Amino acid sequence: MSLLEVNDLTVKFYTEEGVVNAVDNLSFSIDRGEKFGVVGESGAGKSVTALSVMRLIESPGHIESGEVLFNGENLLEMSDEEIRSIRGNEIAMVFQDAQTALNPVYTVGEQISETIRHHLGYDETEAKERSIQLLDTVGIPDAESRFSDYPHEFSGGMQQRAIIAMALSCDPDLLICDEPTTALDVTIETKILQEIETLADEFDTAIQLITHDLGVVADVCDRVMVMYAGKPVEKAPVEELYYDPKHPYTVGLMSSIPRIGDERERLQTIPGTMPDLVDLPSGCSFHPRCPYAEESCTRSEPALVDPETGAVATDDDEHVAACLEYTGELTDGLGYEVTVRDSSDDAEVETVAGAKASSAVDTDVPDAGGDRRD
Amino acid sequence: MTKTTDGRGRIQITGFDADEVKEREPLSDWQETSGGEAVGRWTRVWERFKRNRTALIGLTIVAVMSLLAIFARPVEVMGLTVQPISLAPYPPEEILWIRHDVSQNTPPSWSHPMGIDGEARDVFSRVLAGGRYSISIGFVVVAITGTIGLVYGSISGYFGGWIDEVMMRIVDMILAFPALILAMIIVSMFGGGYWQLVAAFTIFGWATYARLMRGEVLKIKENEYVMAAKALGARDRLVIFRHIVPNAVPPLIVYATLQIGTVVIGVAALGFLGLGMDPGTAEWGTMLENGRNAIIPGPGGDIRWWITVFPGAAIFLFVMSMNMIGDGVNDALDAQETGVAGGGDK
Amino acid sequence: MSLRRFILKRLLLTVPILFGVSVITFALVHLTPGDPISQMVAENPNVSQAEEAQLRAQYGLDGTLWEQYATWIGNVLSGDFGDVYGSSQSVAGVLISRLPETIALGLFGWVFALVIAIPTGVYAAINKDKFGDTASRIIALSGISIPNFWLGLMLILVGALWLGWWDVGAPRTAVYHPEMLWFLILPGITVGTAAAASIMRVMRTSMAEELNKEYVVAARAKGLPERKIILKHVLRNSMISVVTLAAMLTASIVAGSVVVETVFNWPGLGRELVQAIHGHEINLIMAITLFTGFFIVLANLLADILYAVLDPRIRYD
Ligand code: SF4
């Protein structure tokens, strides 16, 4: 049994401008201790997915249908009381912008120990002790005295560490990280990511990492789901996604990562922007931006299929994608090619590849064509 | 080419041609909706305001009441009748029992829908005309104080330093007094009357605008375009009026709209305290002051409610409508603000 | 420690403002054309030039303005506000006898405002755009729009004339008598209504704004109960703007008491001021005005300090 299993989740927002189909018929699962990435440009529905998992969607948003099974229990059918005992305790969240996620009028320490007192029933002093320990664990120097500092007295990186400490405070099984490093600068970004990774291993916590940055995913995750306009368009183990991307959107994201030693004259970014979720294009939502789109793409909506067989995806399929190519409905096929060059082939890129041996894609430049904000 | 098994190596993607998308005919008639917002800033504010039903009701009531006040009696400017229409059935000051068959303190009837007051005057006519003073003073005072405050606050905020310090301390001192008390004292010194009332609310009334304006200017001053204009050697006056003022006015406008109501109440309050217009004048507050003894039951034990209810209700209705407009303007401008800032920044 | 320094700094800043307040008070009465002595002389043509000069000397109205101001402020600092011309009582005596009445009224209005406004504002923010919110918004809008003198008259009309629960010219008991509470109800509501309505509006807006902030989502994500999130996290943040407003409302309650005391014939400082203005009692006018200014400056000071206590970020700015 997976730790988290999301089945056919649909979330809509009823706004003045119309109904926003924020998440449409989404399914995925995360195993115990697994690191799962969710990638897409802003507006793809990543954050809504994360909030839905914790049932934190607020009006005008509404979870229309689907189930969220956590350890086999459907979170969407729980009472408010029950879901609250899971939030912060078994599923915890790290927010994009630590500065706004911390309440400015309470000390950082109080905000951490509050959670501990609430879920673990510790008293004031025990909770304080554990909070200081946690602050120390996430790498805040002089944790003892920092405990009674207010959020504004922390730097951005430290605030994010405090948020991580808070998230880990009750030893959660699943840690949802929503763009945890977007608000930070690049040097701190790497450190925080490493911190999350090691701590997750240490605490044996599964991670759902939400990001617009394929590079970050490559560093941290085991499996990846690419989302576009509220729908999953490709799911694959991270290596396969990089070496053998199946969906044109994934290909577009990858080709827009700038790389040193690139011979192309300029980057190929994905043209246009993510469509407004109120008014989605017909057929495959990606067709206005897809270089391989054909007439049929505007008519039929591709289902997630096994790209080898074209059969509708099942839970057992490792690698699935939603493009008409794999159901044989495209006449001209997908005209992209992925070439992998061994580092020794090419003196020019040797240093880069060597320095970044563990990842397939250079992560020096974080932006994957997406907007940094969400 | 085959995949390297150990995960090393570099991936390069070829054949993802963005230009193809730009050059081809759109496959469907779906279009990107964003980016089509070429309408001006104020047009958008107005669009939002128009959609606010409460604000529109307020606007209508204010317009109707102002028109009624203008057309209640003919308007003469220096002996010349510029407005001949007379909607009020009787001259508001006329004592009716002299020429008509009515007696004092008559309750509302068909011929006198708001009754007759203690001096045998027609309350309806008086209420119609009674808005002239308060409403026009409200608009005049707000126009003058708003302008003074705008200039004062811009100077203070733009130059900063000790100039700002001194100018703002003066504002602090003024704001230490309730406006009504200052107005009372000024009127008591100058005596009552229309322009005296305007002066009473103007002399110190600009202070809040000045403070608001200064705050906005301080925020805007740090913006790049202002910095750039200054760096390019633009003159101070130009920078202030070209670049800073237009961006700083929205909160002032909101305050001004609400302030009209406050001044109307203030004028009426002075009238009620016997410090406004001459005692017999048909002005809402003065009418209430005249009618105060009406709260004591009359000879037959009857309650002469109409004498106090109608003039006060007129003030209430006007001010409430003004506040509805103010809220509407606020919402329209606020939404605008967030629309421009567009999230991201804290 | 930094809080103490902040308070000290604020206190020091208050001194020049209080000085300015006294200058404005003085200037208001002395720079306007209607000099009280000339008014007295105009009203009473029998006064000779010599008598006029003597009167001026008696009231400290001779010499240059600066000398006059110096004499006046010197006396004020030693607790001497001069005499009331009409009754030759000391102004200080009048202040002391009237003050408790006004304080009782203001306090009642204040408590009424807070008790009504804060829970309603919180309720409205939580139930934003539902029926209860809409209703309370309309009531609040009426509350800030209704002229207090008319509200007072209407309350008398209903409470005293129709229902007969109060007497229009009721004999009053001493201020400290518990029965006073009954008499305080109508004028207290009248004085407090505008403040209640404003606080409610600000409470609702700031609370709604705070509820949209990410720390609220974060607190929910921590599994805290909604009640705790609102009462602990959100309320404290939204109180910051309410506290600032509350200080401003002190001015509104003070100004309101002037009118309301006149409506209800309440023997406080406000009614005294109106009578003083009608009678050109400049010593009394100056004393009450000065007093009002001081009081409001102190209220602002208190609000600033409270603000700093509530918002930890402020001390360092
Ligand atoms: S279905 Fe068509 S439009 Fe959609 S990704 Fe595949 S080729 Fe592109």
Within-domain flag for C165: yes
pLDDT digits (tens, 9 = 90+) for A280-333: 888 888 888 888 888 888 888 888 888 888 888 877 788 999 988 888 888 877
List CB contacts of A260: < 8 A, sequence separation 6 or more.
A349, A352, A362, A364
In a domain, B263, yes or no: yes
Residue C315 belongs to a domain:
no
How many angstroms separate the alpha carbon of residue A323 from the centre of ligand 1? 5
Q: Confidence class of residue B332 from pLDDT cuts 50, 70 and 90?
A: confident
Task: State whether the beta carbon of A231 lies less than 6 angstroms from ligand 1.
Answer: no
What CATH code is carried by the domain that includes residue C259? 1.10.3720.10
* Element spanning B195, H or E: helix B194-202
- Is a pLDDT exceeding 60 seen at residue A124? yes
Decide whether any atom of ligand 1 lies within 6 Å of the A286 Cβ.
yes
- Assess A54–C contact: CB distance below 8 Å, yes or no: yes
Across the interface, do C219 and A152 touch by the CB < 8 Å criterion?
A: no
C230 and C171, same structural domain?
yes
Confidence of residue C63 (pLDDT cuts 50, 70, 90): low
Question: Can you tell me the distance from the alpha carbon of B172 to that of B273, in angstroms, rounded to the nearest whole number?
Answer: 27
Please tell me if the CB atom of residue A290 comes closer than 6 angstroms to any atom of ligand 1. Answer: yes
- Tally the C-alpha atoms within 13 A of residue A237's C-alpha that lie toward its C-beta: 7
Chain B interface includes A289 (CB < 8 A): yes
> pLDDT tier at B333 (50, 70, 90 boundaries)?
confident
- The reply to whether C162 falls in a domain is yes
Whether C159 and C252 map to the same domain: the answer is yes
Q: Do C255 and B319 touch (CB under 8 A)?
A: no
Contact C160 B295 (CB under 8 A): yes
Residues C186 and C272 in one domain: yes
Q: Are residues C186 and C286 in the same domain?
A: yes
Residues C159 and C221 occupy one common structural domain: yes
User: Among the three residues C27, C60, C77, which one is the final residue of a domain in this structure?
Assistant: C77
C157 and B303: CB-CB below 8 Å?
yes
Query: pLDDT, tens digit, for every residue of C141-194?
Result: 898 889 988 888 888 888 777 777 777 665 566 666 666 777 788 888 888 888
Question: Cα angle vertex A187, ends A184, A190, to 5°?
Answer: 85
Is residue C86 included in any domain, yes or no? Answer: no
Q: What is the pLDDT of residues C250-279, one digit of tens each?
A: 878 888 888 888 888 888 888 888 888 888
How many independent structural domains does chain B possess? 1
Facing residue for A100 by CB, picked from C213, C219, C222: C213
C7 falls within a domain: no
C95 within some domain? no
In Å, what is the CA distance from A138 to each residue of A161, A198, A205, C125? 6, 10, 15, 37
Contacts of C242 in chain A (CB under 8 A): none
What percent of chain B stands above pLDDT 70?
75
Whether residues C116 and C153 share a domain: the answer is yes
| Whether B25 contacts chain A with CB within 8 A | no
Q: Which residues of A touch C215 (CB under 8 A)?
A: 100-104
Listed range (B40-44, B171-175, B240-244, C58-62) with the worst mean pLDDT = C58-62
Q: Is B16 on the interface with A (CB under 8 A)?
A: yes
Between CA C62 and CA C55 the distance in angstroms is 9
C116 lies in the same domain as C175? yes
C175 and C33 in a common domain: no
Please answer yes or no on whether B14 and A339 come within 8 Å at the CB atom.
Answer: yes
Residues of B in contact with C261 (CB under 8 A): none
The tally of domains found in chain C comes to 2
- Provide the pLDDT for residue A266: 54
Least reliable range by pLDDT among A137-141, B186-190, C286-290:
B186-190
Lowest mean pLDDT among A26-35, A131-140, B274-283, C123-132: B274-283
Strands B75-77, B80-83: parallel, antiparallel or unpaired by DSSP?
antiparallel
Sign of the CA dihedral A40, A41, A45, A47? Answer: positive
Mean pLDDT of chain A, nearest integer = 82
Q: What is the length of chain B?
A: 346
* Binding-face residues of B in 32-91 toward A, CB within 8 A: 32-34
Complex prediction ipTM: 0.82
Read off the pLDDT of residues A56-96 as tens digits, 9 standing for 90 and up. 888 788 898 889 999 988 988 889 889 899 998 899 999 88
Nearest to C222 among A88, A97, A106 (CB): A88
- Check residue B338 and give its pLDDT: 38
Q: Is residue B80 part of a domain?
A: no
- B181-187 average pLDDT score: 87
CATH of residue B127's domain is 1.10.3720.10
Residue found by looking up tokens 């101001």 in the block: C69
Among C77, C94, C118, the domain boundary falls at: C77
Residue bearing the CA closest to ligand 1, atom 6: A323
> Hey, are the CB atoms on B21 and A248 less than 8 Å from each other?
no
Position A369 confidence tier, pLDDT thresholds 50, 70, 90: very low
**Are residues C267 and C162 part of one domain?**
yes
CA-nearest residue of chain C to A101? C215
- Under an 8 A CB cutoff, do C218 and A95 touch? yes
Q: What pLDDT is stored for residue C253 in this prediction?
A: 84
Same-domain pairing of C71 and C211:
no
Same domain, residue pair C54 and C159: no
pLDDT band of B335, cuts 50, 70, 90: low
- Nearest-CA distance from C20 to chain A in Å? 35
C245 or C124: which carries more pLDDT confidence?
C124
> Smallest CA–CA separation between A133 and chain C, in Å?
19
Segment among A21-35, A254-268, C161-175, C235-249 with least mean pLDDT: A254-268
pLDDT tens digit string along B122-143? Answer: 778 788 888 888 888 889 999 9
- Host domain of residue C41: 17-77
Among candidate residues A220, A241, A232, the one with its CA nearest the CA of residue A318: A241
**What percent of chain C stands above pLDDT 90?**
3
- For ligand 1, is residue A287 a contact (CB within 6 Å)? yes
User: To the nearest whole angstrom, how far is the Cα of B329 from the nearest Cα of chain C?
Assistant: 15
A21 Cα to chain B: minimum distance (Å): 16
| Structure-token pair, residue A90 | 């078994």
Cβ of A302 below 6 Å from ligand 1: yes
Q: Lowest-pLDDT range, A245-259, B85-99, C135-149? A: B85-99
Q: Is B82 inside a domain boundary?
A: no
Same domain, residue pair C287 and C196: yes
Listed range (A290-304, A309-323, B42-56, B222-236) with the worst mean pLDDT = B222-236
Q: In this predicted structure, what is the pLDDT of residue C84?
A: 75
Is residue C292 situated within a structural domain?
A: yes
Percent of chain A having pLDDT more than 70? Answer: 88
Q: From the list C145, C154, C160, which residue is nearest B323 (CB)?
A: C145
For residue C228, tell me if it sits in a domain: yes
pLDDT for A128 equals: 92
CB contact under 8 A, A273 and B32: yes
| Shortest CA distance from A178: residue in chain C | C218
CA terminus-to-terminus distance, chain C: 15
Q: How confident is the model at residue A370 (pLDDT cuts 50, 70, 90)?
A: very low
User: Which residue's alpha carbon is at the smallest distance from atom 5 of ligand 1?
Assistant: A323
**Ligand 1 proximity of A284 Cβ (cutoff 6 Å):** yes
Query: Above 90 in pLDDT, residue B222?
Result: no
Domain hosting residue B164, numbered range: 60-71+116-216+247-335
- A182 is written with which tokens? 């977007």
Query: Cβ contact (<8 Å) for A104 and C311?
Result: yes
Tell me the chain C residues in contact with residue A110 when contact means C-beta distances shorter than 8 Å.
Answer: none
**Separation CA C190–CA C253 (nearest Å):** 10
